[in-house]
Structure 1
Amino acid sequence: MKEKVSKKFNELYGEGAILFASPGRINLIGEHTDYNGGFVFPGAVDKGIVAAIRLNGTDKVRAYALDLGESSEFGLNEADKPAESWACYIFGVCREIQKRGGKIGGFDTVFAGDVPLGAGMSSSAALESTYAFALNDLYNCGIDKFELAKIGQSTEHNYCGVNCGIMDQFASVFGKKGNLIRLDCRSLEYAYFPFDPKGYKLVLLDSRVKHELVGSPYNDRRASCERVAKVLGQEFLRGATMEQLEAVKDRISEEDYKRARYVIGEEKRVLDVCEALEKGDYETVGKRMYETHWGMSKDYEVSCEELDFLAEVAEECGVTGSRIMGGGFGGCTINLVKDELYDNFIATAKEKFNAKYGHEPKVYDVVISDGSRRL
């Protein structure tokens, strides 16, 4: 991918570009907890975005999205927001750096990615992190890594219409090879947990059912959680107990009750998984993954028929753990599979899914890798 990006850059703008990369991420457990002030447990993957960038001495950005074959040119003032949705990510990052006092100018850039779009691996966060990291580096803005992650998050909020939490950008910036990161989304304290499950593989099955998160039920789920937190007299659902929830059940809607029940349960599952990993107890990790899946399907209602089907096939094949990953409404399941069951599981999932839905799921083996960097 590096060669491809460099070659295109040279064709369009000439020599002298510097290459930067940021990864997509998986999240082992802890879904829809980030905007509730809870814990998440992501890791960076060996797939992401690569960008070639060269400062051009003007106040204009010339950008080319290699995978789409589209170009965009825009200035750096608020009124210059580009028409192309992908270019809004780059523009938003520039604006958010400026709001924090970073002095930046125009640049030429080409980028491409091998994070599957819409698979719940956060291609958008990888894109934001690449440009936040690169511009900070090239212009010596002196912005710390936490703030780089927040720049990506603010870009989503202010320029792309998604009211996301901090997890995706955090994982992309802070990723570390061979480690998952437990992040407390309220305090932003984090800890690395070595993740090298001997005898198991981590694999994603992409249903190839796509979803657009903007204007989607994502923001509705968040509103449900905020309403319940308010009734409980809290800012977030974080730290609330099932007993507290039961006590206010008659003051909230059935739907809001179900949403909160999922989130409160998920917070406990993340901590259970951390404890289990420290003991090398992957059976417990797997059990919690299945619980998360069915909680997201029945209580949070962000799954879809295809993903439920994949989780059922995983269970039938004896897979240790399986769940929907990402915001929902399509995308991938993440599966923790014993080595000896792997081949049969993949073959069975492909065959059964194809018979029912007319296409095979895509298979991505996961390698936990490093975060944003200059190549």
Structure 2
Amino acid sequence: MEYKYHIFAPYRVCPLGAHVDHQHGIVTGFAIDKGVDLWFTPSDDGHVHLESLTFEGTVDFNLAQASQVKEHHWGDYARGAKYALRKRFTLKYGIEGVVKGSLPVGGLSSSAAVLIAYVMAFAKANDIDLTPMEVVKIASEAEREYIGLNNGILDQSCIALGRKDGLLFLDCDSDEYRVIRRNPDMPDFEIGIFFSGLTRSLVGSDYNLRVFECKTAAWNMLAYRDQPLRPFDRTFLRDIPKSVFDETREVMPKRFARRAEHFYSEYRRVRQGVTAWESGNLQLFGRLCFDSCESSIHNYECGSPELIAIYDIMRTLPGVYGGRFSGAGFKGACMALVDPEYKKDIEAELTRRYLERFPEYEKTFRVYFVKPDDGARFIK
């Protein structure tokens, strides 16, 4: 079938700013040149019919009707986009389309990419003009309120706002952002994606638990300082100065102190990383990525044995500037900034050493190399 429109929504990686967007921290990110393609034609009524080249089955529902219980099926993301849009707009026209993902791996925010594609498609079909940040907010709301993942706006922002020639720097408190162009003196790099072979679902992982632990750490600090507690959904570590954490860290439960330590140290690393990027110092930027992953392991306490093994191996490989878990760090993949001249050696050595330890993933372990790309867009 010939479709009228084609949307490409890229996957994303976050080199610095891990696990802090939901606490209104500061983050960095790239959109990459692999992602989700959605081909569609607006329908004459509110009916939505979707097929997938990646998953089995079809999806059928009506945009004019309220979304009911989730079906725990890939169509939930289309229904989630409808749910968030209907809170703001009247939707009269559906779409008939087909969707395809280009990398079958976790840790690249494929769910956020497909949500953004659906938001853009439903808006196009109904003549709704949205700014990129409005797309970000609507897609993020769909994931939080309908899908059930208590995320911030990092994933959606990288996917919608990324540019191939720069690093996205986003303040998740004010929503202010800028794309920092590559310094001409910066050496060339590509992005390695090292998929452990172990898939994951964030809704079923400890992702939401970590969000609650961060908020509880903030509550602890407010309570020890005899400050009024805010409603839990409006409690964020970003609102509490680090000096308060320094005063209270020894008296709060260690679990919560570690979560807060990650937040404040990651805030510092992002600031340092932005300066390194602006000056073209990719070596320092990479070391900060490694430091971020160390904190993710020891303070945020995420990372499966498989991911930690990949991280430990890639730290030792020539040509790897730096890297960390990609995404939330529960199963999934690792990402690294690499010198393109070393790609073959990196792939060969990483594959050999990883499969020596985890031979059960011989058929599912994958290495990909990608490049930064522009954000979600209509393809002409």
Q: Establish whether TM, by shorter chain, passes 0.5.
A: yes
- Whether the aligned pair in 1 keeps the contact of 2:207 and 2:328 (CA below 8 Å) is yes
Paired residue for 1:290?
Answer: 290
Q: Distance in 2 between matches of 1:329 and 1:167?
A: 17
**Kindly, what percent of the aligned residue pairs are identical?**
27
The answer for the alignment partner of 1:373 in structure 2 is: 377
What per-residue deviation string (whole Å, max 9, x for no partner) do you get for residues 207-245 of structure 1? Answer: 122111113211111111111222334842126555432
Normalising by structure 2, we get a TM-score of 0.89
**Inter-partner Cα distance in structure 1 for 2:333 and 2:72:** 26
2:10 aligned partner = 23
Measure the CA separation in 2 of the matches of 1:188 and 1:328.
24
Shift, 1:27, TM fit: 0.9
3-state secondary structure, aligned to 1:209: coil
Partner of 1:7: none
TM-aligned CA distance change 1:69 to 1:339, over 3 Å:
closer
**Unpaired segments of 5 or more residues in structure 1?**
1-9
Deviation at 1:201, TM superposition (A): 3.1
Task: Report the counterpart of residue 207 of structure 1 in structure 2.
Answer: 196
Classify the secondary structure of the residue corresponding to 1:78: coil
Q: 1:147 to 1:199 in 2, by over 3 A?
A: closer
User: 1:104 maps to which residue?
Assistant: 92
Letter in 2 for 1:366: V
> Which stretch shifts more, 333-342 or 52-61?
333-342
The change in CA–CA distance for 1:72 and 1:98 in structure 2 (over 3 A counts) is: same
8 A Cα contact 2:83 2:146, kept in partner: no
SS at match of 2:204: coil
**CA separation of 1:45/1:222 partners in 2, compared to 1, >3 Å: closer, same or farther?**
same
Distance 1:168 1:247, change over 3 A: same
- Provide, for residues 284-333 of structure 1, a one-character-per-residue CA deviation record: whole Å limited to 9, x for no partner: 11211111111111111111212221222122224321211211111221
Distance, in Å, in 1 between the alignment partners of 2:33 and 2:342 is 23
2:102 alignment partner, one of 109, 114, 118:
114
Amino acid at match of 1:273: G
CA apart distance, 1:69: 2.6
CA RMSD of aligned residues (A): 1.9
Q: Displacement of 1:82 after TM fit?
A: 5.8
Counterpart of 1:145 in structure 2 is 132
* Change over 3 Å in CA distance of 1:230–1:80 after alignment to 2: closer
Q: Is the 8 A contact 1:35 1:222 kept in 2?
A: yes
Q: What aligned pairs does 1:1-375 form with structure 2 within 5 A after superposition?
A: 10=1, 15-76=2-63, 77-80=65-68, 83-118=71-106, 120-195=107-182, 197-233=186-222, 235-238=235-238, 240=240, 242-318=242-318, 319-358=320-359, 359-360=361-362, 361-375=365-379
Q: Secondary structure at the match of 2:288?
A: helix
For residues 109 and 278 of structure 1, the distance between their equivalents in structure 2, rounded to whole angstroms, comes to 41
Q: Is the 8 A contact 1:58 1:106 kept in 2?
A: yes
- Of 31-40 and 320-329, deviating more is 320-329
- Cα distance between partner residues in 1 of 2:306 and 2:376: 33
Q: Which amino acid aligns with 1:363?
A: V
Q: Contact (CA 8 Å) 2:93, 2:125: kept in 1 or not?
A: no
CA contact (8 A) 1:103 1:139 kept: yes
Structure 2 Cα separation of the partners of residues 35 and 177 of structure 1: 25
Aligned-pair CA distance for 1:270: 0.8
Query: Secondary structure, in 3 states, of the residue corresponding to 1:308?
Result: helix
C-alpha displacement at 1:356, in angstroms? 0.8
How far apart in 2 are the matches of 1:350 and 1:339? 17
Q: What is the aligned residue count?
A: 361
Partner-residue secondary structure (3-state), 1:72: strand
Check whether the contact 1:242–1:264 (CA below 8 A) recurs between aligned residues. Answer: yes
CA offsets 1:116-137 (integer angstroms, 9 cap, x no match): 342x111111101111112222
**Residue 81 (structure 1) shift:** 5.0
Q: What TM-score results when the alignment is normalised by the length of structure 1?
A: 0.90
Q: 1:255 to 1:270 in 2, by over 3 A?
A: same
